[in-house]
Structure 1
Amino acid sequence: MKLKRGFNRTKKQKFFWLLFTLFIGAVVFIYSFNDVDFREFSGLFKQTNYFWLILALLLIIFYYFSMSWTLDILLGKDNKASAWGLIRIPFMEQFGNGITPFSFGGQPLQILGLNQAGIPVGQASSISLMKFVIYQGMIVVAFLICLIFGYQYVADHMLSMTGLVIFGLVIHILVLLALISIMFFPPVTKKIADLCLKPFPFFLAMIKSLQ
């Protein structure tokens, strides 16, 4: 009888979060289309080239499945998560990115999804960090390729933006180096963190109390 009550409670929780997610999606949808003329929108939709629309949909589906596949590769041979458990994680990540400022909630929801799929929180955090390093690395590679082949265009047509482009590339490289440092050089990272937090003794005391 206790098991049955617990099972019912779990189903109720899932139903609640499903309704909550649909409610948030409806609010975002209504807010986004608040100033849209639906007659004009329906007219433009009828003129849409459905080939490109279907292709875009297929690419989105491929993106989500590739994200799940990446997680499966990073988990390695000891992966105990089910296929459905991995497929739902990119959707949770995108939901977290969409409802939080600066897409701050993507990684926490990704870790939550991995934990719900049977992955310990520590391992889930490492997987999320490795995935973000791969993502950041690809951004830097794409940035360098675009800069090499398109710098002259930027310099000729957007002269005032040239410095901003270089600054953005430097920021991306520094973020990537910081993430690699966290992954492979924990002592160095700890010293840098202690140095940055030195003006804030309260946080240092709190961190040392947790160690």
Structure 2
Amino acid sequence: MNTDRKQRIRKNLINYTIFLLIMGLTFYTVLRGQDWNQIWEALKGLSLPCLLLILASALFFVCAEGSMIWYLLRMINPDSSGLGKCISYSFIGFFYSGITPSSTGGQPVQLYYMKKDGNALSDSSVVLMTVALLYKFVLVIIGCAMLFFWYDPLRSYLRKYFGLYILGLVLHVVLVAVLLAVMLAPEAMKRLIFQIEHFLTRIRILKPSAGRAEKIRQFIGGYQDAVYFLAKQKYRMLLVLGITFLQRCSLFFLTGLVYLGFSQQGTSLLTVMLLQASVSVAVDMLPLPGAQGITELMYCRVFSHVFSQACLMPSLYVARGSSFYFLLVVSLLVVLLNEAVRRRGETVKDRQCLRAAGRRYTL
């Protein structure tokens, strides 16, 4: 087993351990002292059509990102991966983002699989960065709109979590600014990459290589071309922005479906969606795998006057279970299936090479 593979396995084990520890602590905190008979009775009252729509909304959230990856890749290179592959990249990204702090593990793994499938690294980088930029940009727009046009209700519902909301919004604005700077200032990006490469070489993590510098220049060149190309596709980018908005709202609508599924009354569907959006703004950038713990805690506080006391915890289990844990399980299955198909393909290819070599030897 080579060193890179050992390091990757060790890093994954650390991520899994941290994830499971936080998940265990979250479950313990959320489930402790609950009246399970009351919760079960409430869950039995959940509308089945609403439950199916809830799961469909969750799946739409991930599949919509895959569709955008496919659309952007095909804009740059018509011979890139198909829609099914791009949707699998989205599920893979969701899984590794869910188990790593601040969702940092998703994009590197997506890039790895996209490169393995023959997509240019520069094209894939631009596409994933564009998707991430639009994803955060939409949340910034929604967050700022709520802050300016829904200030009093927002502060009333969030109470002591209003400061966390402001912090989350500021972090999103900073991230959007950084992503824009990286995409629109490729020369600065080039200098940054060379500085990182020089530093890693100096501390002997990387070996000196003239070929590496040329590969970096080729990557930056391809990156610049892809950015310039996308910048010219204004109407198509507006379409992608619209899909991103629908994708974001699908999770907010999911909580609204939970509200309707439990036959709750007294709060408008729009208010429920806005409150879920406020939770997302507050916790999305926190350095916790899947924002576990704080999401559940904030949900209980924010929705305590929206859901009845009997339905508050069941609504949390359904909303959070479908939008995160359900998708995490589906994403894990996609990761395992992808690996199995890839290994089978490599095995078949190796056998074909051996047969070809055997025929040449016989001749």
| TM tier, smaller | 0.5 to 0.7
Task: Answer whether contact 1:194 1:204 (CA < 8 A) is retained.
Answer: no
Q: Name the CA distance, whole Å, in 2 between partners of 1:89 and 1:189.
A: 25
In structure 2, the residue matched to 1:74 is: 72
Q: Name the CA distance, whole Å, in 1 between partners of 2:164 and 2:98.
A: 26
Residue 179 of structure 1 deviates from its aligned partner by 0.8
Counterpart of 1:172 in structure 2: which amino acid? H
In structure 2, the residue matched to 1:92 is: 92
1:55 aligns with 2:70: no
Residue 194 of structure 1 deviates from its aligned partner by 9.4
Residue 81 of structure 1 deviates from its aligned partner by 0.7
Q: Name the CA distance, whole Å, in 2 between partners of 1:99 and 1:105.
A: 8
Q: How does 1:57-206 map to 2 (within 5 A)?
A: 57-77=55-75, 78-79=77-78, 80-155=80-155, 162=162, 164-189=164-189, 202=199, 205=202
Q: Name the CA distance, whole Å, in 1 between partners of 2:154 and 2:63.
A: 35
Please identify, of 108-117 and 49-58, the stretch whose mean Cα deviation from structure 2 is larger.
108-117
Task: Answer whether contact 2:155 2:162 (CA < 8 A) is retained.
Answer: yes
Task: Answer whether contact 2:92 2:106 (CA < 8 A) is retained.
Answer: yes
In structure 2, the residue matched to 1:18 is: none
Q: Decide whether aligned partners of structure 1 residues 123 and 62 sit closer, same or farther in structure 2, where only a CA change above 3 A counts.
A: same
Q: Name the CA distance, whole Å, in 2 between partners of 1:181 and 1:117.
A: 29
- 1:114-163 CA deviation, whole Å, 9 max, x = no partner? 22332122321221111111111111111111112221234456666555
Counterpart of 2:61 in structure 1: which amino acid? Y
Counterpart of 1:186 in structure 2: which amino acid? P
Q: Give the 3-state SS of the residue equivalent to 2:130 in structure 1.
A: helix
Residue 43 of structure 1 deviates from its aligned partner by 4.9
Q: Decide whether aligned partners of structure 1 residues 157 and 119 sit closer, same or farther in structure 2, where only a CA change above 3 A counts.
A: closer
Q: Name the CA distance, whole Å, in 1 between partners of 2:46 and 2:160.
A: 36
Taking structure 1 as the reference length, what is the TM-score of the superposition? 0.67
Task: Answer whether contact 2:67 2:83 (CA < 8 A) is retained.
Answer: no
Task: Answer whether contact 1:86 1:117 (CA < 8 A) is retained.
Answer: no
Task: Answer whether contact 1:154 1:161 (CA < 8 A) is retained.
Answer: no
Please identify, of 137-146 and 58-67, the stretch whose mean Cα deviation from structure 2 is larger.
58-67
Taking structure 2 as the reference length, what is the TM-score of the superposition? 0.42
Q: Decide whether aligned partners of structure 1 residues 125 and 159 sit closer, same or farther in structure 2, where only a CA change above 3 A counts.
A: same
Counterpart of 1:57 in structure 2: which amino acid? L
Task: Answer whether contact 1:68 1:89 (CA < 8 A) is retained.
Answer: yes
Q: Give the 3-state SS of the residue equivalent to 1:48 in structure 2.
A: coil
Q: Name the CA distance, whole Å, in 1 between partners of 2:194 and 2:119.
A: 30
Seq. identity, %: 22
Give ranges in structure 1 of 5+ residues lacking alignment: 1-23
Residue 33 of structure 1 deviates from its aligned partner by 6.4
Q: Name the CA distance, whole Å, in 2 between partners of 1:203 and 1:111.
A: 21
Q: Decide whether aligned partners of structure 1 residues 82 and 147 sit closer, same or farther in structure 2, where only a CA change above 3 A counts.
A: same
Counterpart of 2:56 in structure 1: which amino acid? L
Q: Name the CA distance, whole Å, in 2 between partners of 1:76 and 1:202.
A: 36
Q: Decide whether aligned partners of structure 1 residues 164 and 64 sit closer, same or farther in structure 2, where only a CA change above 3 A counts.
A: closer
Give ranges in structure 2 of 5+ residues lacking alignment: 1-15, 214-363
Q: Name the CA distance, whole Å, in 1 between partners of 2:116 and 2:146.
A: 39
Counterpart of 1:134 in structure 2: which amino acid? L
Q: Name the CA distance, whole Å, in 2 between partners of 1:184 and 1:124.
A: 16
Residue 62 of structure 1 deviates from its aligned partner by 1.9
Residue 64 of structure 1 deviates from its aligned partner by 2.4
